[in-house]
Structure 1
Amino acid sequence: MLLNTPRRYAELPSEVDSIHNYYEHLVLEEIARTSERSRQDMNFLADVACVALNRLPPRYIRHDVDMTFFMSPMELQEIQDKTKNAVAAAIDYVSRREAERMAAEQLEEKSLTEPATESDAEPASPH
């Protein structure tokens, strides 16, 4: 994940390729589970994932099993709850922002296509 970019790190050992944020997979799974739209709209999925991940603390690991093996059931539940809450808030945020942007675009388009009314015109000069 972290280093899946073009190889600029030729001097690093290959073992570091497995470094990733533990929440990445959890967030993507939660989005797919809760949002039908995310299964068809990859831009929506990516936007929601970014917003959700930015709401969560980074937990960088090499192997998911390392993280889950050393956590108590309470800690695992807390991580699941944090993930669900972050994803729900992110879906709401992205959807709301899209609706606001679409409304603004429609308003702008409407103002460009409607003829000006007399009340919109400038008052006549007193001369």
Structure 2
Amino acid sequence: MALEDIHNYYEDLVQHYIRALELDRTRDADYLADLCCLVLNQLPAHYIRYTVDMAYFTSDEKRHEMEERVIYAVTSAISWLDNEEHRRDHREEQ
């Protein structure tokens, strides 16, 4: 077994949702990295070896629940990152 084959399925969902929102086109790499960290820290780990397994071994209800969790976590993280006070604090740290 190759350990590099194992990954957190939520990472796939988060990246897909970020692309769907086109944030990868409107935000810089630092923002996206911060966003991904904030989002993934709000979500449970769900490790898999093959993404295709999710189609066979996860119910539609469970997949929908996972997608809803991602939407909520991304929305919350964007709100926090876009908060003017946070941007000001971040600039002062640099």
User: CA distance change for structure 1 residues 68 and 101 in 2, over 3 Å: closer, same or farther?
Assistant: same
**Structure 2: stretches of 5+ with no match in the other structure:** none
Asked if residue 20 in structure 1 is aligned to residue 15 in structure 2, the reply is no
What TM-score do the two structures reach when normalised by structure 1? 0.62
* RMSD between aligned residues: 2.1
- Give aligned pairs, total: 90
Determine the C-alpha separation between the residues in 1 that align with 2:89 and 2:53: 47
- Aligned residue number for residue 56 of structure 2: 69
User: CA distance change for structure 1 residues 102 and 58 in 2, over 3 Å: closer, same or farther?
Assistant: closer
Structure with the greater alpha carbon radius of gyration? 1
Determine the C-alpha separation between the residues in 2 that align with 1:103 and 1:17: 38
Does 66-75 or 18-27 show the bigger shift? 66-75
- Aligned residue number for residue 100 of structure 1: 85
Q: Which of the residues 75, 91, 99 maps onto 2:78?
A: 91
Q: CA shift at 1:35, angstroms?
A: 4.7
Give the 3-state SS of the residue equivalent to 1:57 in structure 2: coil
**Structure 1: stretches of 5+ with no match in the other structure:** 1-12, 107-127
- Aligned residue number for residue 46 of structure 1: 33
Percent identity, aligned pairs only, is 37
Using CA pairs under 8 Å that are at least 6 residues apart, name the structure with larger relative contact order, 1 or 2.
2
Given that residues 80 and 86 in structure 2 are in contact (C-alpha distance below 8 angstroms), is that contact kept between their aligned partners in structure 1? no
Which amino acid in structure 2 is aligned with residue 43 of structure 1?
D
